[in-house]
Amino acid sequence: MTTGILFAATDVRWAEYEAPLRAALDTTGLPYALATDLPPETVDYIVYAPNSSLQDFGPFPRLKAVLSLWAGVEGVVGNATLTVPLTRMVDAEGLTQGMVEYVTGHVLRHHLAMDTHIVNPRHEWTPIAPPLAADRPVTVLGLGTLGLACAQMLRTIGFPVTGWSRTAKSAEGIRCLSGAAGLLPALNGAQIVVLLLPDTPQTRCVLDAETLAALPRGAVIVNPGRGPLIDDAALLDALDSGQIGHATLDVFRQEPLPQGHPFWAHPQVTVTPHIASETRVASASRVIAENIRRGEVGLPLLHRVDRAAGY
């Protein structure tokens, strides 16, 4: 029987994905039909972007799984019509490596005070060397695939790294804390904090007035995770008071970030346009094809979402 695969994303994504996805599917040896429009009764898998116009999964009687092209699934995980397994995009070749490069670059930028020398309109000679990495504690909030990879890279460079997660984790060379009781200890003493948590009701505003106050004065925030992880008003207050020295933000509650938002004009905020970890089409196509192959031969799907946890 032919495996029916519906591609449910934007027209731009279809133009990007059609050839690489077909090439990846061809390697599986499965007979398949891949299209953006298939009779609902023939669809076995939906390759999905949460911003797709498809929001009702009820009309697909033989649907086996929905395979998201995005790492974040908060826009679909609560859909009541979605009763089959849902997977999220975890791609070591593209997403993970891209995130490691972004986080490492910006942590080093702040650690080395690069902005002082790059933006120096008065041509001031300030020969103050930064501390070594070993003297700059970094905390990574979130020890999933992306967070753990970033924490390990920062540890390799020489930073003392603390990782915090909602549930207990362990990683060699990284101080791992978890749960509500571990959050403030994870933040105490952290001069740079990287946020790589999912967006769930339990993680929203994980950085608020209380937790920002737990950081040493002048600490730096790097958020390439999810916009709602930070209380925007509390962050602005902390920046204005000097409690937080700088915030580099790649994700926001509303995207694109509105032109009048205070983050744009704040001298201690760097805005990047959600570029920290872009899905790479070729490698993401291979992840999707492998999950379809696994589904067809009865193997467990990779990166299956835990609906209760939300990721």
Interatomic CA distance for residues 156 and 150, integer angstroms: 10
What DSSP element (H or E) covers 98? Answer: helix 97-111
Please confirm whether the linkage preceding 40 is cis (ω < 30° from 0).
no
Beta-bridged to residue 8, according to DSSP, are: 48
In 193-223, which positions are buried (b, 16+ CB within 10 angstroms) versus exposed (e)?
A: bbbbbbbbeebbebbbeebbebbeeebbbbb
Residue 54 CB neighbour total at 10 angstroms: 16
Q: Is residue 110 among the annotated active site residues?
A: no
Q: Is residue 261 among the annotated active site residues?
A: no
Query: For residue 236, what are the CA distances in angstroms to 139, 164, 207, 232, 301?
Result: 21, 24, 12, 6, 42
Q: Indicate which residue of 106, 111, 226, 286 is catalytic.
A: 226
Q: Indicate which residue of 253, 274, 280, 307 is catalytic.
A: 274
Interatomic CA distance for residues 71 and 86, integer angstroms: 12
Written as one letter, the residue type at 149 is: A
Residues near 209 by beta carbon (within 8 Å), at least 6 away in sequence: 231, 234, 237, 238
User: How is residue 61 written in tokens?
Assistant: 């009687």
Phi and psi torsions of 266, nearest 5°: -70, 130
289, 27 in Cβ contact below 8 A? Answer: yes
Interatomic CA distance for residues 116 and 96, integer angstroms: 29
| Enzyme catalytic residues | 226, 274
